[in-house]
Copies of this chain bind each other. A is one copy, B any other.
Amino acid sequence: MNKERITKVLDQARDMDALLLSDPYAIYYLIGKKIAPGERFLGLLLQKDKAPVLFLNILFPFDEMEGLKIVSYSDTDELTAVLQPHFDPSWILGVDKTLAARFLLPIIKNKLVKDCVLGSRAVDKVRAVKDESEKELMRKASKINDEAMAIFKTLIRDGISEKEVAAQLPAIYKRLGADDNSFDAIIAFGKNAADPHHMPDDTIVKQGDAVLFDVGCLYKGYCSDMTRTFFYKKEPDEAQKKIYSLVKNANEEAEKMIKAGVKLCDIDKKARDIITEGGYGPYFTHRLGHFIGIEVHEYGDVSSSFNDLTQAGNTFSIEPGIYYPEILGCRIEDLVLVTEDGVEVLNSYPHDIEIIGL
């Protein structure tokens, strides 16, 4: 159990009487144990000056943990009856954003508490600022991702499909010391690269294709996430080069301006303005980046609607893209770590145009 993190979270939750976390990642962050409860209820109840309480189905074996109270229940118990003795009808209860309606509505309708409010922001804010041990893991996860990208590009050869490439990634990550993919890899050939969320299919690579890899690994619980767009066996034409260079420029100029105390929306604007001035604004259809850590997408955006200031210890992606099916779909993404006076770009794989398969 990480008491320091729990204290920080409760400090952020001062407008609530208690906080009920159900998100396995938030619970992992605070107690150091990953539990995948499936459709069953898992809850960690936090209150100031009281021991945290973990509600856990007896199906999941759990060793005692100092300072943590365990409340076991079985599949035949009714949830509200399990929770009620530990709740107070006068409470403003913070619940986390992922709490499912099947758990939340009974709490509300049975009046176990006075009111429920979204409370996961309290954990999110603490998670957004990585401590030293987390920074090390984020660096290492991205270092493995850089090494992996150099191998992934060699997998592309005549006759291979996106799916066949995707199937080989987990083993390569494991060989490099990671535990698994951190998300389902996006591997996109040709026009598929113009769909930012394309899932690998049976498309076969052909000469002249863009080859987009949006990939990441999980290293000791922490995620990497990087995108590079290569060209298969043929130099890109002028129109493609223009798009590529706008994306590269947007990525690098955005990264350059990062340090503690910058508005996240301004970083988005920097990249977006470059692409808009280049004439491709409408084809950059998503936010510039997302926070990342033990989950690939954590609370915090690099987008026009997110006005928070960066803080030292934030880790997020910078991933401008242009998706123009008739010419090119292209994205260049790095992870960055904000420092007091600047930025540490966690990926070092080059941004330059690279022709592969030669």
Contact = CB atoms under 8 A, between A and B. Distances in A.
Contacts of A120: 102
Q: How many copies are assembled? A: 2
Contact of A76 (B39, B97, B196, B305): B305
Given A167-B171, A286-B75, A301-B75, A61 B195 contact: yes
A100 B98 contact: yes
A104 B102 contact: no
A97 B100 contact: yes
Contacts of A95: 101, 105
A38 B303 CA distance: 17
Contacts of A117: 105
Interface string A109-127: 0000000111010000000
Interface in A275-307: 285-287, 297, 301, 303-305
A59 B196 CA distance: 7
Contacts of A297: 38-39
A96 interface: yes
Contacts of A303: 75-76
Contacts of A170: 167
Given A97-B100, A104-B104, A105-B118, A197 B76 contact: no
Contacts of A75: 286-287, 301, 303, 305
Contacts of A260: none
A102 B76 contact: no
Contact of A101 (B58, B98, B301): B98
Nearest to A195: B61
Interface in A157-172: 167, 170-171
Contacts of A98: 100-102
Contacts of A287: 75
Contacts of A71: none
Interface string A15-58: 00000000000000000000000110000000000000000001
A204 interface: no
Contacts of A304: 76
A318 to B, nearest CB: 16
A101 B99 contact: yes
Interface in A65-110: 75-76, 95-102, 104-105, 108
A99 B105 CA distance: 10
A105 B100 CA distance: 11
A197 B101 contact: no
A184 to B, nearest CB: 8
A100 B102 contact: no
A196 B38 CA distance: 13
A158 to B, nearest CB: 22
Most chain B Cβ neighbours within 10 Å, of A105, A120, A195, A286: A105
Contacts of A76: 303-305
16 contacts: A38-B297, A75-B303, A75-B305, A76-B305, A95-B101, A97-B102, A98-B100, A98-B101, A100-B101, A101-B116, A102-B118, A102-B120, A104-B104, A104-B105, A108-B108, A167-B170
Given A97-B102, A105-B117, 9 more contacts: A39-B297, A59-B285, A59-B286, A75-B286, A95-B105, A97-B101, A98-B100, A99-B100, A101-B101
